[in-house]
Structure 1
Amino acid sequence: MRAGRGSVPPTDGRAGRPRGRAAELGARLRRLRAGAEERFPVITRLTSHLIAVNLLDSATRLAAQVFLTAVPLLFVVASFAPQGVRKEIVSSLHDVFGINGSSDQELKKVFEADPANLQQSAGAVSSLMVLLSATACSRAMQRLCQRAWRLPGASARIAAWRWLVWIAAWLVILALLGPLRTGFGVGAWLGVPLLLVTQVSVWWWTQHLLLAARVPWLPLLPGALLTGVALTTLSVVAKLYVPSALNRSLDRYGSLGAVFTVLSWLIGLCVVIAAGITAGAVIAREPAVSRHLGSPEQSNSP
């Protein structure tokens, strides 16, 4: 007998099989996640803490402050620094990012210009304003460290001088990155380990300084190690990616293209920094690790 127009054709269960497999796969994934959370609770705590810190938002704000305040400060320092210091800064930027071609020419326009013209362009009042504005970068980094460790903000009286010291220290480190990377002329086999030790030391000291010594030294070590290793790795990757991307942006879109490329790279660096410091704070408070490092108890402060 023929089926009527409104009748539903019989099914053999094939349509329900994909749904059943999907449901089974979903149940299996939930069981795996529950098992992983039970065996490795640090993963759950790290994920929730990264969400609480608002990783991408913190990293983007930090990158914006670096670009808007620290980069102009670098130009001001170049205008007043001796010729030898300016050459070291240019050498460091070349070694770290592998700058060449069009971007190298633009860099030389700034750092190899006549110092008198640079000083006249900057001016004493403008230089002072740039220096004070650069502390916004220090404050953004301080807020990141405080969120990672769930500490309240330090008073301005205690923190103000630390902002300036942190900026000054990073300017010195930037001038030394080139010689460090080459092992002071010995070679990369010595330079990369020296760079790694320097990065770990700097981020260890950065946390202690900007947290106003409210966290002991040892609990800060995991975050310093994670951040130092990640940034050293990125410094190697930078020479493979940044030069071509920067030159391509300059050739196609001019200075505006270079701005987007540099800002994108800064955001990537700041995401790595934020993730490293936050993960280090979580690891340092794990019971098995905390017993050895003497980590402070978890605070409920945001």
Structure 2
Amino acid sequence: MTEGGRTQRLVARAKAAHRRAETRFPVVTHLADRMVTVNIFDSATRIAAQCFLTAVPLLFVVAAYAPEAVRRQMLDSLKAVFGLTGAASKELDQVFQPAAAGLQQATGVVGGLMVLLSATAVSRAMQRLCKRAWEIPRAGTRIAPWRWLAWLLLWICVLVLQGPVRDGFGVGAWLGTPLAFVTQVGLWWWTQHLLLGGLVGWKPLLPGSVLAAAALTALAISAHLYMPKALNRALAEYGPVGSVFVLLSWLIVVCVAATVSVSVGAVLAQEPFLAGRLGSPPPQRDREPPGP
């Protein structure tokens, strides 16, 4: 038998095995196929890198131009998100020192606007994730660019308010944790709807939003146990470079969790047991015309 014949037989066997698995374990098979389509780790790493490259310049812009109350609230929220203490907390305090004229001059109004516009790279990366998760083709699905900026501004506002939310507005963590979860559900629900340009209705987007909120709330709780020690140790041993590595690694974990959650939510919403109730669009395999 020729090499080409063997390859064809292997491909035929693989396709037959895939069809059997799809018949016996449809949800698992569809999840695996969607993970491959979305390219989970590549998408998550890209989003994490964009988030990090966006966050650093934005912090300087906020430190240079935001009112004192906003700077203080942002500082408290960042400490609340990561549970910062010790050296890491002091390093962050230095970034949010009252703005000097030199910092404003170095940043510049035009520079601040350029930072904000370039930060929409995160929005575009998140939009690509949502479109892949819902198998929306690129052709014929142009979405207004203002949505990128609107998404970015909302996330900045949410970050500023994270401190009071996680503290339950002074009541305590017993209220703050469920409140943060509900906030995350709403945020991811609106994120998908906004970045998809309304191509998918509200109801089908709910499962992915709940999964993302649950995953990120759990990670936020674990961040208080891991991040302070990891950042302080990295600063002591390697200086600021060490803290960059720790933060980027954590962002990748967070983005992987969000990417998996959105993708799994899309698959579940398109399965027969939920699709009818939610009015979900059909998956790609059902949109394609049957072969001859």
Distance of aligned partners of 1:194 and 1:34 in 2 relative to their CA distance in 1, 3 Å threshold: same
Aligned to 2:28: 43
1:154–1:211 CA contact under 8 A, matched in 2:
no
Report the counterpart of residue 264 of structure 1 in structure 2.
249
Match of 1:241 in 2: 226
Query: Larger deviation: 201-210 or 96-105?
Result: 96-105
Structure 1's 193 and 221: CA in aligned 2 closer, same or farther, altered over 3 A?
same
Could you list the per-position Cα deviations for residues 156-207 of structure 1 after superposition, in whole angstroms to 9, with x for gaps in the alignment?
Answer: 9733100000010001000111100000001111111110000000000000
Residue 184 of structure 1 aligns to a residue in which SS? coil
Q: One-letter code of the match for 2:123?
A: S
How far apart in 1 are the matches of 2:162 and 2:20?
A: 45
The structure 2 residue matched to 1:222, chosen from 207, 214, 219, is: 207
**1:145 touches 1:207 (CA, 8 Å); kept in 2?**
yes
Q: Identify unmatched segments of 5+ residues in structure 1.
A: 1-32
* Residue 131 of structure 1: aligned partner: 116
Q: CA deviation at 1:153?
A: 3.3
Say if 1:59 and 1:209 are closer, same or farther in 2 by CA, change over 3 A.
Answer: same
Q: Which 5+ residue runs of structure 2 have no aligned equivalent? A: 1-17, 288-292
Q: In the alignment, what sits opposite 1:284?
A: 269
The C-alpha deviation readout for 1:217-246, integer Å capped at 9, x for no partner, is 000000000000100110000000011111
- Corresponding position of 2:158: 173
Q: CA deviation at 1:59?
A: 0.3
- Aligned match of 2:101: 116
User: What is the CA-CA distance between 1:128 and the residue it aligns to?
Assistant: 1.6
TM-score by length of 2: 0.87
Structure 1 residue 68, shift from structure 2 partner? 0.8
Alignment match, 2:9: none
Residue 17 (structure 1) aligns with:
none
- Is 1:84–2:66 an aligned residue pair? no
8 Å CA contact 2:63, 2:98 repeated in 1: no
Amino acid at match of 1:145: C
Is the CA contact (8 Å cut-off) linking 1:70 and 1:137 kept in structure 2?
no
Q: Distance in 2 between matches of 1:154 and 1:260?
A: 38
Determine the C-alpha separation between the residues in 2 that align with 1:277 and 1:137: 16
Decide whether the 8 Å contact of 1:58 with 1:144 is kept in 2: yes
3-state SS of 1:296 partner: coil
Alignment partners' CA distance in 2, 1:73 and 1:133: 10
Report the count of equivalent residues.
269
TM-score of the pair, normalised by structure 1: 0.84
What is the CA–CA distance in structure 2 between the aligned matches of 1:35 and 1:156, rounded to whole Å? 34
Q: Distance in 1 between matches of 2:33 and 2:143?
A: 30
Going from structure 1 to structure 2, the CA distance change for 1:84 and 1:172 (only over 3 Å counts) comes to same
Task: Tell me how far apart the structure 1 counterparts of residues 208 and 31 of structure 2 sit (CA, whole Å).
Answer: 13
Poorly superposed stretches of 4+, deviation over 2 Å: 33-40, 113-118, 152-159
- 1:1-302 counterparts in 2 under 5 A? 40-153=25-138, 158-299=143-284
- What RMSD over aligned residues (CA atoms) do the two structures have, in Å? 2.1
Check conservation: 1:154, 1:212, Cα contact below 8 A. no
Amino acid at match of 2:97: E
Q: CA deviation at 1:70?
A: 3.3
Aligned to 1:28: none
Q: Is the deviation greater in 262-271 or in 38-47?
A: 38-47
Distance 1:212 1:153 in 2: 13
| Larger CA Rg, structure 1 vs 2 | 1
What is the Cα deviation at residue 117 of structure 1?
3.7
